[in-house]
Amino acid sequence: MAGQRNIWDAATLGIYIAVSISIGILGGIWLDKKIGTSPLFMLVGFAAGLTAAGLEVWRIVKKTLKE
């Protein structure tokens, strides 16, 4: 059962990365339009999404190596 969970984690990893970065960028663009600070918050959102994606990759790798 643990092997199936690892396969599921690996399969959804690409989707998680794309969604987290996209949400960060889109949220940043929205905030930039509201405040007029383009591209400041888009870059901050990108960095936040990239960080969230990296942490998820690290969590999955750590869990996989533990098993």
Q: How confident is the model at residue 1 (pLDDT cuts 50, 70, 90)?
A: low
**What tens digit of pLDDT does each residue of 17-53 get?**
999 999 999 999 999 999 999 999 999 999 999 999 9
**pLDDT of the residue at 8:** 79
Q: Model-level pTM?
A: 0.83
Q: Take residue 1 and report the two structure tokens written for it.
A: 């059962």
56-65 long-range Cβ contacts below 8 angstroms, 24+ apart: 56/13, 56/16, 56/17, 56/20, 57/13, 57/17, 60/6, 60/9, 60/10, 60/13, 63/6, 63/9, 64/6, 64/9
In this predicted structure, the answer to whether residue 56 has a pLDDT above a threshold of 70 is yes
